[in-house]
């Protein structure tokens, strides 16, 4: 489920309200907005990133507009659960988000969200925001099941 800093054996207390989810990439970062009260998420936008350096101004504008109480970041993992090349950069991105915006960050393992997102669009346009929606929906489903 999540990978928040919580003592072993305890379930993290998740703030109630709006949450922002990210599908991290080195060129594009998908963003979705969700709500823990309704356990729903929707694709929001795609933020540019250059060589893993996010457009922090665009991300700050999203935080200002949506005022999320928590952050969810998908951790790209191999199908067998092992880390892959983007796992550590995604974790670092989440830590930077927490430091900049002073919100708790929850990590959730994600595999194949980008492939599923591509299946949902027929336009051929980037679908990173749809991948973020899938990641955030999975996290909300997991959190809802534990409450």
Question: What is the dihedral sign for C-alpha 123, 126, 131, 113?
Answer: positive
Write down the pLDDT at residue 123.
Answer: 66
Average per-residue pLDDT for the chain: 85
CATH of the domain at 108: 3.30.420.140
Q: What is the largest CA-CA distance in the chain?
A: 45
In this structure, what are the phi and psi dihedrals at residue 63, rounded to the nearest 5 degrees? -65, -40
Q: Is residue 4 part of a domain?
A: no
Q: Is residue 76 part of a domain?
A: yes
Q: Is residue 92 part of a domain?
A: yes
Give residue 26's domain range. Answer: 18-146
pLDDT in tens, 65-114: 999 999 999 999 888 888 889 999 999 999 999 999 999 999 998 876 66
Write down the pLDDT at residue 124.
Answer: 64
* Single pTM value for the model: 0.84
Q: Is residue 3 part of a domain?
A: no
Count of domains for the chain: 1
Q: Is residue 94 part of a domain?
A: yes
pLDDT in tens, 123-144: 666 678 989 999 999 999 988 7
Q: Is residue 83 part of a domain?
A: yes
Q: Is residue 62 part of a domain?
A: yes
């Amino acid at each position: 489920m999540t990978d928040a800093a919580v003592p072993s054996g305890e379930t993290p207390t998740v703030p109630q309200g709006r949450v922002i989810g990210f599908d991290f990439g080195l060129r594009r970062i998908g963003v979705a907005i969700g709500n823990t009260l309704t356990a729903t998420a929707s694709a929001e936008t795609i933020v540019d990133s250059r060589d893993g350096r996010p457009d922090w101004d665009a991300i700050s504008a999203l935080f200002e507009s949506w005022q999320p109480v928590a952050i969810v970041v998908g951790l790209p993992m191999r199908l067998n659960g092992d880390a892959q090349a983007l796992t550590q950069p995604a974790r670092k991105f989440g830590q930077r988000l927490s430091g900049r915006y002073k919100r708790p960050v929850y990590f959730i393992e994600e595999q194949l969200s980008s492939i599923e997102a591509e299946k949902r669009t027929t336009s051929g346009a980037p679908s990173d925001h749809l991948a973020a929606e899938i990641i955030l929906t999975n996290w909300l489903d997991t959190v809802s099941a534990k409450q």
